[in-house]
Structure 1
């Protein structure tokens, strides 16, 4: 899955699973809290959906606020988790 596909999957998860409205166009540079209006409870829910959708396990100690800074940083985190699990 490339970065654009991961971005679209995240968008779908946020809109459908979290029932949160997003702009029609989202970008990797969009800040999760400030630009998209996602709060900390929604982020925790998103982690659960990410684990299911991307078949990764998110260790509690890796849930760093910097990971959830932008959609791009979140995509990079997902890619790192996937790479670590296939290694």
Structure 2
């Protein structure tokens, strides 16, 4: 799965599952909390959706806050976890 495909799927998850209005322009530099208006409770829900959609396990106690800084950092984290799952 390419970065573009992960981005598209991530935006689809957010648009379909959260009652927020996404900005007109969202890119990898968009900030999760400030630009997308996703709060900490939504992040927990988003984590579950990510696990289900991408078939990965997100370790709750080992997530660096920087992972949730931008859309791009979240995509990189998903890529990293998918790679770990493939080599395990």
TM-score of the aligned structures, taking structure 2 as reference length: 0.92
Count of residue correspondences: 87
Partner Cα separation in structure 2 for residue 4 and residue 25 of structure 1: 15
Q: Which runs of 5+ in 2 are unaligned?
A: none
TM-score of the aligned structures, taking structure 1 as reference length: 0.93
**CA deviation map 1:35-87 (0-9, x unaligned):** 11110100100000000000000011222211000000000000000000110
The question of 1:17 aligning with 2:17 is answered yes
CA RMSD of aligned residues (A): 1.0
Find the counterpart in structure 1 of residue 65 from structure 2: 65
Local SS of the residue matching 1:72:
helix
User: Which 4+ residue blocks in structure 1 deviate beyond 4 angstroms?
Assistant: none
Q: Which runs of 5+ in 1 are unaligned?
A: none
